[in-house]
Structure formats: structure tokens, C-alpha cells
């Protein structure tokens, strides 16, 4: 088999057989491979008979999967020529609308592409490219840390720039923190539904996630105290603002109660905070209430753009070097060009302008969601809403029905920190390029919810 053929078939390793139809698992694997860049526009897919043989399924199953992929606008092709990954454009969204990926919406009235092009040109014009693109020791320059402190000031208040680190995204920062504070086998308390990235980190580092009961504001203080006494956790991990996926926000009194529970237990707090800057007046961070034991990780991915791959990490006094060491071991450094662009945008006010534009668009989209899905929960400034589902309408059935209508949703099992969790779906509002496309998609979800529950057929 040639190298090109092997590459064309590699994505088949993503197919996961579960309780749903195998043809949908094949479509989802293909969609994930395209989304993550494993397959590029123009790549040719293996013949259907080859796929059937590789997976040990009927030829008709693969034919159905390729047909469904064509219906979603993922692939194109003709008889005798083959099937190819289709080039995706805004106009293609009528074929497939992604409500599963939490992205900031396009900033209202601003061109992110134009700003990125102009700022990149300025950085390269004023900086020696060879120096910029070399390896850089440390987690960010002093200038970048000063910019980070300014960006985080509405949430953390005044913070010494020396306490901050620039990371290659929140996942790198969270992984570094957990490696520094927890050993394999130790407990980490989390919400029953939590960030899938933390679930992956816990699995890779062999940590035990212990879900704590929650109410409308997050951790129930009495339950948290009992778990801390029973488990002696290394850390308490939480997303206190516009929680992912349930979209709840913890009030200040509750935040103080969590900090007090952590103090009594001698546990570290890991505060994942991607969304606070979306709020005009965010609550104080736990890192501002208990700075001596709280690690604060704030990404630009949800406020400006995930493509920057920049996050800022604040560590307690005395823990900076330990985290910097694990950060270097895992990702070495953030991309220098994107670090420079991000710092310049913060210094010059461009980041605040982009944030304001994202806020305006996010609020408009949240209003659409509130009108079409009044039972969905979420803050007025959030990028997603959460929809609880009754037992007679399981999330899997809703997801499959939505997929048949060209929509991608994500269900509670992707966020489950343990075996006991509520059922529901997270609906992301930023992925569609236009409000009209989002409104169309949410209308389809509303129609599905208004109709009789669909059965899951294996």
C-alpha cells in the first residue's frame, strides 16, 4: 500500500462502535478527521468496498455513510472518479451546521482576518524574524506577561506579571498544573458534568475524578466539605463562570465557601476560566479570593479566537517554578508569533474591541436561543446553552435525529466526570457563521423537541 493510500485510510481508526448505528459512527469519524485537519479539502477517500473490508461491515453500510456525509456537505464525487473531501465555505452551512463546538461567534463589525493580517505584518516588520521564531525559554516575555495582567485585571484585580505564564492554550496550562499538584491515584473533585479536556488529562495522568453534587450555582458546600473529608483530594477543579457545559455561574458567596472548603482540606483549587471576560462585570475569580491556593487558567480561545492558541496561567506564590517546569515538559512554549500578536492586541486595545464585538454578537445569538428554546439554560453573555432532557427523550436519540437533519450536537456523556450524571445536550451558539444559519438550526432542534421522541435503532 502506498503512503498516500495509508494516509487516506488512517481516519478509519477513529470509528468507534457503540450503541448507535455503525454508519453514523463512520460519518462522525470522517467529520472529526476533517474538523481536526487529518483530512484536507481535496483528499480522496478510500473506495467504499475497501472501507467495508477494513471495518468488517456490509458494503451497503458504507454506501449509506458516504451518502450521509455527502448530505452534510463533507464530501463530493462522481461515479468513476471517486469521493473527495469537499472544500468548506460559509455557503456550505446549509448542508451541515455545527452546534457542538464552543467557538466565539464572528466579531460583529470587525474583520478578525484583516486585523490578524495587519498585526502579523507589523510584528514581522518591527521584530527580527529569526529571533522571534527561535526557541524561547520561560513561559512568555515580561512584556507578554504585563499584557496578560492587563487582560486579567477585570477578573483577578491587580496581579504581579511575574506570577503569570503564557501557555499554548488552556489544555497545556491545565495539564501542567495537574502534573505539578497531583500524583497518580489521587482524587480531584470536579462537577458531575465537566470539561472533556480535564477528563482526558485525568485519564492520561491516572487521576481519580470525584464528582461533587451541584445546584444552580455549582458545588453544594456541604457536599463539597464531606467529599474533601472523605477523599483528601489533591485539587478541586471547577469552571465557576458560564460553566461548561451547564452554563451556570457561581455567585461570590458560593465562591468564598468553595475557597474555605479547600483551605480546610489543604487542597489546591484549579480554576478554569475561559468565559469571564465575556461578562461586562464578572464575579471575582477564586484566584482573587484565595490566591495562595488557586491556579487560574484563562484562554483567549472563547473571547477572541481559538486559533491564537494562547492562554494565561496565574500560579500561587511559590508554585510558579514547579508549573513552569511541567509546562515546558509538555509544550515547551507558546507559539511566539501568536504570543506577540496577542500581546500587541491587548496593549493597543484591539483585544478589547474584538471582545466587545464578540459580546454583542454572542448576546444577539443568545436572544435567538432564548426565543426558540425557552427551556434551555444559559447566561445572557454565554456561547452555549444547556438543555436538560427527560428520561423519555434520551440525548442520544435527539442527537441522532439532529444528525439526520444536518446538525451536530454534543450530549452529556461527553462531559461525564463519573457514572452518575444528568442527561441533556449542550448547544453551542458561535459556530454558525451567520445568525440566520443559527436560527434555522435552532428551529430544527425546537421542532424535534416538539415532536414525539425518536427511537434509537441499532
For 162-209, write each residue's pLDDT tens digit: 999 999 999 999 999 999 999 999 999 999 999 999 999 999 999 999
As a whole number, the mean pLDDT across the chain is 89
Question: Domain 112-351 class?
Answer: alpha beta
Whole-angstrom CA distances from 285 to 135, 228, 377 are 33, 21, 22
Mean pLDDT (whole number) for 82-105: 73
Say yes or no: do domains 98-110+356-450 and 112-351 share a fold. no
What band does 1 get if pLDDT is binned at 50, 70 and 90?
A: very low
Q: What is the pLDDT of residue 70?
A: 80
For domain 3-88, give the fold.
Answer: Arc Repressor Mutant, subunit A (1.10.10)
**CA–CA distance, 22 with 27 (Å, rounded to integer):** 9
What band does 41 get if pLDDT is binned at 50, 70 and 90?
A: confident
Mean pLDDT (whole number) for 229-253: 96
Mean pLDDT (whole number) for 269-296: 96
Q: What is the pLDDT of residue 19?
A: 62
Residue 13 has pLDDT above 90, yes or no: no
pLDDT in tens, 401-443: 898 888 989 999 889 988 878 889 999 999 988 899 999 999 9
Q: What is the pLDDT of residue 93?
A: 44
Q: What is the residue extent of each domain of the chain?
A: 3-88, 98-110+356-450, 112-351
pLDDT in tens, 25-38: 898 888 888 877 78
The residue that leads in pLDDT, 82 or 3, is: 82
Q: Any idea which architecture 98-110+356-450 has in CATH?
A: Alpha-Beta Complex (3.90)
**CA–CA distance, 157 with 287 (Å, rounded to integer):** 10
Q: Which three cell numbers stand for residue 30?
A: 470522517
The secondary element (H helix, E strand) that includes residue 297 is: strand 294-299
Q: What is the pLDDT of residue 3?
A: 44
pLDDT in tens, 301-324: 999 999 999 999 999 999 999 999
The residue that leads in pLDDT, 107 or 41, is: 107
What band does 230 get if pLDDT is binned at 50, 70 and 90?
A: very high
Q: What is the pLDDT of residue 348?
A: 95
Residue with cell 465537566: 194
**CA–CA distance, 223 with 143 (Å, rounded to integer):** 43
Mean pLDDT (whole number) for 106-129: 89
Mean pLDDT (whole number) for 265-276: 97
Angle between the N-to-C axes of helices 112-126 and 336-348, in degrees from 0 to 180, rounded to the nearest 10: 110
The secondary element (H helix, E strand) that includes residue 345 is: helix 336-348
Q: What is the pLDDT of residue 28?
A: 84
What's 242's DSSP letter?
Answer: S
Q: What is the pLDDT of residue 142?
A: 93
CB 451 within 8 A of CB 378: no
CB 384 within 8 A of CB 247: yes
Which residues have a Cβ under 8 Å from the Cβ of 203 and sit 6 or more positions away? none
**Spatial CA neighbour of 44 closest among 84, 12, 11:** 84
Name residue 215's beta-bridge partners: 218
Q: Would the pTM of this model clear 0.85, i.e. be above it?
A: no
Q: What is the pLDDT of residue 138?
A: 81
Residue 455 has pLDDT above 90, yes or no: no
Whole-angstrom CA distances from 228 to 271, 287, 291, 354, 417 are 17, 19, 19, 41, 17
Taken in order 78, 79, 80, 83, is the CA torsion positive or negative? positive
Q: What is the pLDDT of residue 224?
A: 97
Mean pLDDT (whole number) for 49-66: 89
Q: What is the pLDDT of residue 171?
A: 94
> How far is CA 423 from its chain centroid?
19
Q: What is the pLDDT of residue 290?
A: 97
**Spatial CA neighbour of 48 closest among 60, 36, 38, 34:** 60
Mean pLDDT (whole number) for 222-236: 96
3-state secondary structure of 35: helix
Taken in order 257, 263, 267, 272, is the CA torsion positive or negative? positive
Q: What is the pLDDT of residue 443?
A: 95
3-state secondary structure of 92: helix
**Spatial CA neighbour of 337 closest among 165, 139, 170, 134:** 134
CB 8 within 8 A of CB 16: no
**CA–CA distance, 23 with 31 (Å, rounded to integer):** 12
**CA–CA distance, 396 with 12 (Å, rounded to integer):** 22
**Spatial CA neighbour of 34 closest among 78, 79, 80, 95:** 95
Residue 2 has pLDDT above 60, yes or no: no
Amino acid at each position: 500500500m502506498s503512503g498516500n493510500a495509508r494516509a487516506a485510510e488512517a481516519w478509519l481508526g477513529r470509528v468507534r462502535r457503540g450503541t448507535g448505528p455503525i454508519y453514523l459512527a463512520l460519518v462522525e469519524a470522517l467529520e472529526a478527521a476533517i474538523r481536526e485537519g487529518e483530512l484536507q479539502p481535496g483528499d480522496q477517500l478510500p473506495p467504499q468496498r475497501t472501507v467495508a473490508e477494513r471495518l468488517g461491515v456490509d458494503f451497503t453500510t458504507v454506501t449509506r455513510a458516504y451518502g450521509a456525509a455527502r448530505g452534510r456537505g463533507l464530501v463530493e464525487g462522481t461515479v468513476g472518479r471517486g469521493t473527495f473531501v469537499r472544500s468548506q465555505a460559509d455557503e456550505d452551512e446549509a448542508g451541515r451546521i455545527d452546534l457542538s463546538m464552543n467557538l466565539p461567534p464572528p466579531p460583529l463589525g470587525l474583520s478578525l482576518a484583516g486585523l490578524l493580517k495587519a498585526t502579523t505584518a507589523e510584528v514581522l516588520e518591527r521584530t527580527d524574524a529569526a529571533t522571534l521564531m527561535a526557541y524561547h525559554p520561560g513561559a512568555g516575555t515580561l512584556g507578554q506577561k504585563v499584557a496578560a495582567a492587563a487582560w486579567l485585571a477585570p477578573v483577578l484585580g491587580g496581579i504581579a506579571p511575574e506570577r503569570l505564564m503564557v501557555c499554548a492554550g488552556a489544555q497545556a496550562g491545565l495539564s501542567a498544573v495537574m502534573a505539578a499538584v497531583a500524583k497518580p491515584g489521587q482524587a480531584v473533585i470536579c462537577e458531575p458534568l465537566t470539561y472533556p479536556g480535564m477528563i482526558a488529562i485525568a485519564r492520561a495522568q491516572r487521576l481519580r475524578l470525584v464528582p461533587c453534587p451541584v445546584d444552580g450555582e455549582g458545588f453544594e458546600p456541604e457536599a463539597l466539605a464531606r467529599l474533601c473529608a472523605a477523599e483528601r483530594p489533591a485539587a478541586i477543579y471547577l469552571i465557576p463562570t458560564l460553566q461548561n457545559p451547564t452554563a451556570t455561574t457561581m455567585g461570590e458567596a458560593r465562591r468564598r465557601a468553595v475557597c474555605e472548603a479547600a483551605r480546610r482540606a489543604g487542597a489546591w483549587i484549579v480554576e478554569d476560566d475561559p468565559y469571564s471576560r465575556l461578562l461586562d462585570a464578572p464575579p471575582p475569580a477564586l484566584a482573587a479570593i484565595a490566591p495562595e491556593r488557586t491556579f487560574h487558567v484563562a484562554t483567549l480561545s472563547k473571547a477572541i479566537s481559538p486559533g491564537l492558541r494562547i492562554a494565561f496561567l496565574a500560579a500561587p506564590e511559590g508554585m510558579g517554578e514547579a508549573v513552569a517546569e511541567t509546562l515546558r515538559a509538555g509544550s515547551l512554549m507558546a507559539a511566539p508569533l501568536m504570543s506577540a500578536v496577542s500581546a500587541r492586541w491587548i496593549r493597543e486595545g484591539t483585544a478589547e474591541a474584538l471582545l466587545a464585538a464578540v459580546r454583542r454578537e454572542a448576546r444577539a445569538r443568545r436572544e435567538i436561543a432564548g426565543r426558540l428554546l425557552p427551556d434551555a439554560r444559559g447566561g445572557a453573555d454565554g456561547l452555549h446553552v444547556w438543555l436538560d432532557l427527560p428520561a423519555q427523550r434520551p440525548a442520544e436519540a435527539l442527537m441522532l435525529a439532529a444528525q439526520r437533519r444536518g446538525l451536530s450536537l454534543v450530549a452529556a456523556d461527553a462531559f461525564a466526570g463519573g457514572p452518575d450524571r444528568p442527561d441533556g445536550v449542550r448547544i453551542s451558539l458561535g459556530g454558525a457563521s451567520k445568525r440566520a444559519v443559527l436560527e434555522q438550526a435552532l428551529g430544527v432542534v425546537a421542532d424535534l423537541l416538539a415532536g414525539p421522541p425518536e427511537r434509537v435503532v441499532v
